[in-house]
Amino acid sequence: MDVTLQGIDPATARALLVACVTLLFSLHLCRWLWQRSALCPPGPLAWPVVGNAPQLGSSPHLYFARMAKKYGNVFQIKLGCRKVVVLNGDSIKQALVKQGAEFAGRPDFTSFQYVSNGDGIAFGTVSDWWKLRRRAAQSSVRMFSTGNPHTKNTFEHHVLCEVRELLALFTRKTQEQQYFQPLTYLVVSTANIMSAVCFGKRYSYEDEEFRQVVGRNDQFTQTVGAGSIVDVMPWLQYFPNPIKTIFENFKRLNVEFGMFIADKVLEHRKTVQSSIVRDMTDALIVALDQLREKTGRSSEKDYVTPTIGDIFGASQDTLSTFQQWIILILVRFPEIQVRLQQEVDKVVDRSRVPCIDDQPQLPYVMAFIYEVMRFTSLVPLTIPHSTTTDTSLMGYAIPKNTVVFINQWSVNHDPAIWSHPETFDPQRFLDQTGALDKDLTSSVLLFSLGKRRCIGEELSKLHLFLFTALIAHQCNITSDPARPPKLDYNYGLTLKPHAYYIAVALREDMTLLNAATGQSSSEEVRDEPSLDSQTKE
Ligand code: HEM
């Protein structure tokens, strides 16, 4: 030691030491950075400030599917200054089911704070209290839909009554205008079914407050859908621009929606009894009050409003959009409408209306519904997820709090699963004996998977079955030859079909529907609707 250091003064020795340590540290850092970048998901080059936002275009799910072909099922983009990992194809099951807890978070997006005041289930991130509330919400949904034969029958009655009102309205509109736009009526009709189960009340098609509350779904879904600009470039809120205006409207509609729901909860609280649970709001008041007591949160705020608000909001938007697609597809493919009619006529005949118990005997109806789910993928990306911890997926490192987009569309249009995925063909879900192919129906991804899977899946399938079977049994729907229907849509959390025009003719009269709903055939339909907004669609 003495020999090597001989002739070197202490200051030089110290400098050499520092240089060596710095060199070693730099080498180590370079290696670490290299390793990290090697493990990062690949992805397209991003622009400064805006990232890949301009590339998303009007259909981000299609852009993501194209990028997945280039970079693989797990890739990364930048939106504004946020990194977003996009999952496609088989990586979705791996993340949401096999590594469910790690991918179950929600990002801290600005828009999410305004939905249900940031206290809801759908847009809130995971916590123990959130899990308890989610479970309570799930069981109250079941209690008023698919829980047992009695609840199923009550739910069926709500659907029957609303389909009856809707068809009476549609035939009257056809008489008055020949061809009319059905989109808004389908929203009010669906919202009424969910209002009956959530609040024990239906509304007239003319009710201004109700129309205001449910008539702005498109503004809501545009802002919370994956790829929404305000969430990744929040600075856009601070000076006048179109995004700021959209966001201001979004905030206003959330406040108004919250007030509508809070009012219903308040009314229920005045008369609720734990021995007679009348509807989902009652069920949630009882369940959440018990939970608050059990967990020592009695003094905390009331979570009934955000919870029932999420159920009502999530259900009426998705189900009404689904119905809009069903009607559009029936007029776009009239031969499929005829095939549905043939099946229901054969199984149900013309002496009664279709009911829940007919479902196993109506495989083509179910095949049609699954094909509408697959083909439209009307919720193309789920609500954005985030990682709850540092994790890795398919060999790529994904840090905690990374925003994750789940591209359901990519699964439903994967040519490895579906032959000619761009063709609408319900037959693909039937096996050689004409029975529903359960393996294939379970390959459709629309309600997500894992810990964030939709809590309304069973209710939705029951609702959509009844709606489709009743429509096929009761009426003929045709499109306006002067305005042929197109399958175009506006992107958002749900894909909204563009306006289209239809005419509706009853196949017989309303006698069977009246009898099934306990309505005398001479009775007038309850409301005379005049939705001005129809002309604005
Ligand atoms: C066709 C109808 C429907 C479709 C396509 C649909 C689809 C979805 C999707 C894709 C999600 C997001 C899952 C995720 O982020 O991974 C979701 C969440 C949710 N849905 Fe549905 N949904 C439908 C109907 C309903 C109904 C009828 C209800 C209530 C009765 C409902 C209540 C909810 C709730 C509360 C969540 C949030 C779950 C969570 O964050 O843990 N949905 N739904």
Query: Tens of pLDDT along the chain (537 residues)?
Result: 444 445 678 888 888 888 877 887 776 676 566 555 558 999 999 999 999 999 999 999 999 999 999 999 999 999 998 999 999 999 999 999 999 999 999 999 988 999 988 899 999 999 999 999 999 999 999 999 999 999 999 999 999 999 999 999 999 999 999 999 999 999 999 999 999 999 998 888 888 888 888 877 777 877 777 777 888 888 888 888 888 888 888 898 899 999 999 999 999 999 999 889 999 999 999 999 999 888 887 767 789 999 999 999 999 999 999 999 999 999 999 999 999 999 999 999 999 999 999 999 999 999 999 999 999 999 999 999 999 999 999 999 999 999 999 999 999 999 999 999 999 999 999 999 999 999 999 999 999 999 999 999 999 999 999 999 999 999 999 999 999 999 999 999 999 999 999 999 999 999 999 999 987 544 444 443 333 333 332
**Does 448 contact ligand 1 (Cβ within 6 A)?**
yes
**Does 493 contact ligand 1 (Cβ within 6 A)?**
no
Q: Report ipTM for this prediction.
A: 0.99
pLDDT value, residue 238: 84
* Three-state SS at 448: coil
Distances (CA, A) of 226 to 364, 386, 411, 466: 33, 12, 17, 31
pLDDT value, residue 523: 45
Is residue 356 within 8 A of residue 466, CB to CB? The reply is yes
- Alpha-carbon Rg for the chain in angstroms: 27
Q: State which of 131, 318, 375 you would mutate to test the pocket of ligand 1, scoring each by most atoms of that ligand within 8 A of its C-beta.
A: 318
- If you measure from the C-alpha of residue 160 to the centroid of ligand 1, how many angstroms do you get, rounded to a whole number? 23
Structure tokens at 353: 């209306």
State the DSSP code for 95. I
**Does 452 contact ligand 1 (Cβ within 6 A)?**
yes
Which helix (H) or strand (E) is 164 found in, with range? Answer: helix 149-177
**Does 152 contact ligand 1 (Cβ within 6 A)?**
no
Instruction: Confirm or deny that 40 is annotated as ligand binding.
Output: no
- If you measure from the C-alpha of residue 483 to the centroid of ligand 1, how many angstroms do you get, rounded to a whole number? 33
State the DSSP code for 114. G
- The backbone torsions φ and ψ at residue 504, rounded to the nearest 5 degrees and listed phi first, read -125, 130
- Domains of the chain (ranges; CATH) run 40-517 (1.10.630.10)
Residue nearest to atom 31 of ligand 1 (CA): 456
pLDDT value, residue 31: 53
Say how far apart CA 363 and CA 319 lie, in whole Å: 21
Closest to 307 (Cα-Cα) out of 177, 160, 129: 129
**Does 162 contact ligand 1 (Cβ within 6 A)?**
no
**Does 381 contact ligand 1 (Cβ within 6 A)?**
no
CB atoms within 10 A of CB 344: 24
- If you measure from the C-alpha of residue 446 to the centroid of ligand 1, how many angstroms do you get, rounded to a whole number? 9
Confidence (pTM): 0.89
Say how far apart CA 414 and CA 490 lie, in whole Å: 22
Say how far apart CA 144 and CA 282 lie, in whole Å: 11
Residues β-bridged to residue 476 = 505
Tokens 């704070």 belong to residue: 113
Pairing of strands 403-406, 385-386: antiparallel
